Structure 1
Amino acid sequence: MKNVFFMLFLFVGFTAFSQTAYEKAMTEKIATVQQHKTPDEFTALTNDFKRIGDKEKTQWLPYYYAAFASIQKGRLAMREGKKEELDPIADEAQKYLDLAMELNKDSAENLVLQKMIHSLKMMVNPQQRFMSEGMLAADALSKAEKIDAENPRITLMKAEDTYYTPEQFGGSKTKGLELFQKALDQFKVYQPKSSLDPNWGKAEAEYFLANKP
């Protein structure tokens, strides 16, 4: 009987240690996401999260962050006008997001990333792809809102779209800034489900509000 209890103690202790190691690895990597500035840094971060996901197998967040790091690399390429890089980067992000979605279906956070992936692909040629990728992006965001209406990242995505869309197509910098303010207000009260769950976006809302045209 003593041996049984001893083995049980070792099992429980090992499980707790494994969870702690996973959380520690994730926490360290998540903390660096906003610090990266180059494509190579984002590529390395994507690979780091993939390795964690491949090791854990049942955790969706590593693959979520692998997709997010790829998307950030894509947004960097978009700002630099490197449209030819957007499709392959979006495809890479989609690969990891599909894995996250398999492990966590009906997640608003995953759907926000899905919206961002479609938006990256749309930006290759907005005029040609608005009715395809643009509509898919809007659909993903609508689905996310039905799941978690108070999620500030959903409002942040709406703010970006409204701010950057020309007025003749329904956009408005004024309305965009109003949505950035709404997102910031939501960030003040919104609670992530865990310390590892997505909590990004507040700095972007603050940036736009601090740099009003």
Structure 2
Amino acid sequence: MKKLLLSLALSLVSLSTFAQTTYEKAMSDKIAKIETSKTADEFHALSNDFVRIADKEKGKWLPNYYAALAQIQKGRTLMREGKMDQLDAAADAAQKYVDLAMTADANNSEIYLLQKMIYSLKMVVNPMERYMTFGMKADEQLKKAESLNPQNPRVALIKAEDTYFTPAQYGGSQTKGIELFKVALEKYSSFKPKTALDPNWGKSEAEYFVSQAAGK
């Protein structure tokens, strides 16, 4: 009987390890595509891939986090293409997944940063009409993300973006933005994600802007 129980226990451990490895493999493969995807359709498909993982892995914040991030990146791609009429839909899709991620981990700097990015997408649809609502909300979420983890390099990255692309008459400056991108790079140099699956995106963007400035 003891041998049977031991054999059963070992089998359960093996199944658990296999399931964990399968989950990590699936996540790793998709996470790698966050920074290599280029089109809105690619980001949309990637978001759906993470949703399928989330449906199997109830209670984990990361699959829904990445599903939201992919939708946000889809929205940012559409914004660069001038398709402003499609931003609300992308932001609303991302919001659904951020809400689920927040349910799993309510005090996470990374999730609050995505909430900030969602509000920013909503705001740029019509800045004149929406700044006092979504613009202000975005600022609040960025401050919350920073308060939860002042060393989060993605917080510094998004602050740099905001400063770089905001017109001077509204307090922005490309020069100040570049300095903040440098701050972000300093934070990336010392940042270590908690696990191999935790957020670690954005460094290449900061490097790009700093290198562009250096080449002028």
TM over 0.5: yes
Aligned twin of 1:101: 102
Number of aligned residue pairs: 213
Does residue 31 of structure 1 match 2:32? yes
CA deviation string 1:167-207 (max 9, x = no partner): 11111111110000000111000111110000001000011
The one-letter amino acid of 2:29's match is E
Aligned twin of 1:8: 9
Q: Could you say what the CA RMSD is over the residues aligned between the two structures, in angstroms?
A: 0.8
Alpha-carbon distance in structure 2 between the residues aligned to 1:97 and 1:52: 15
Aligned twin of 2:166: 165
1:43-192, aligned counterparts within 5 Å? 43-192=44-193
Which structure 1 segments of 5+ residues have no match?
Answer: none
The one-letter amino acid of 1:172's match is S
The one-letter amino acid of 1:156's match is L
* Cα offset, 1:130, TM superposition: 0.6
Q: Taking structure 1 as the reference length, what is the TM-score of the superposition?
A: 0.98
* Cα offset, 1:34, TM superposition: 1.2
SS across alignment from 2:35: helix
CA deviation string 1:98-132 (max 9, x = no partner): 11110011100001100000000000001111110
Alpha-carbon distance in structure 2 between the residues aligned to 1:21 and 1:36: 23
* Cα offset, 1:50, TM superposition: 0.4
The one-letter amino acid of 1:85's match is Q
Q: Which runs of structure 1 show a deviation greater than 4 angstroms over 4 or more consecutive aligned residues?
A: none
Alpha-carbon distance in structure 2 between the residues aligned to 1:51 and 1:161: 32
Which structure 2 segments of 5+ residues have no match?
Answer: none
CA deviation string 1:65-112 (max 9, x = no partner): 000000000000000111100001100000011111100111000011
* Cα offset, 1:2, TM superposition: 1.1
Alpha-carbon distance in structure 2 between the residues aligned to 1:124 and 1:107: 27
Alpha-carbon distance in structure 2 between the residues aligned to 1:68 and 1:89: 10
The one-letter amino acid of 2:73's match is Q
Aligned twin of 1:204: 205
The one-letter amino acid of 1:35's match is T
SS across alignment from 1:211: helix
* Cα offset, 1:32, TM superposition: 1.3
Alpha-carbon distance in structure 2 between the residues aligned to 1:135 and 1:167: 19
Q: Taking structure 2 as the reference length, what is the TM-score of the superposition?
A: 0.97
CA deviation string 1:48-77 (max 9, x = no partner): 000001101121100000000000000000
The one-letter amino acid of 1:121's match is K
CA deviation string 1:136-166 (max 9, x = no partner): 0000010011110011100111101111111
